[in-house]
Amino acid sequence: MIRSIAVIIATGLLLALQGVLHKMPGLHVDVAALVIAYLVLERPVITGAATALVVGYLQDLGSGGPTGLHAAASVMAFLVGRVAVAKVRASGPVIQGVLGVLATWLTIGFALAIDAFLGPGTSHVRAMMPALPTIALTSIVLCYPVHRLLARIDEKLGHGEEEFVLR
């Protein structure tokens, strides 16, 4: 529990930083997706999904849109990521990078779908198209550093509190 709260606080800080960095024209980062990728690899299903929910919620707050969109999309992305990772026995920076990009696309895809079915349906891929390559690129670049940061927090706070499915 403590480790999950620590991850959430760290995510909150990273999201705040992301919001500030987005003032720079052309720079797009999806830190929440990278955190979800970390959760996919390092957390059991329920704990991970709950943490993903809070992470998504924080993203909702930062986005300025209706609450719940990114929260739901994050949980969905986490679960799909877990299913995908359960089939693959690999680790390391490469799988972290792949998972980071996958989480980014899944989150965006699920958010679009939720908006289309449950919301006003005003979001379109076309509108966010210019940002997508940058998001993918920054996800690849930042996936490993974010993973290392969160893993470091986990290490500081100790293991054994939760059951790790993949370990």
Partner 1 sequence: MFEALKRQKTLLGALALIIVPLVVYRANASDPTRRPPLDRLVLFVTSPLEAALSWTVASVSDVWSSYVDVRGARAENIELRREQLRNQREMDALAGLVEENGRLRTILGLSERNPKLEMVAARVIAVSTSPFERTVRVDRGLTSKVARGMTVLSDRGLVGRVQRAGYSWADVVLIADEKMSLDVAFGRTRVRGRMHGSGLWPSGRVEILDVLRTDDVRVGDVISTSGLAGVFPPGIPVALVTKVDAVPGGGQLLIEAEPLVDLERVDEVAVVVGPNAADEPMITPENLLPIELQASRTSSTSTRAGP
Of positions 33, 72, 85, 95, contacts partner 1 by CB under 8 A: 72
Of positions 6, 8, 79, 151, contacts partner 1 by CB under 8 A: 79
Binding to partner 1 in span 21-50, by CB under 8 A = 21, 45-46, 49-50
Shortest spacing between CB 94 and partner 1, in angstroms? 27
129 binds partner 1 (CB under 8 A): no
112 binds partner 1 (CB under 8 A): no
90 binds partner 1 (CB under 8 A): no
Phi-psi region of 121 (alpha: psi -120 to 50; beta: other; left: phi over 0): left
Nearer to partner 1, 126 or 163 (CB): 163
- Give the interface with partner 1 as residue ranges (CB under 8 A): 12-13, 16-17, 19-21, 45-46, 49-50, 52-53, 56-58, 61, 65-69, 71-72, 75-76, 79, 114, 118-120
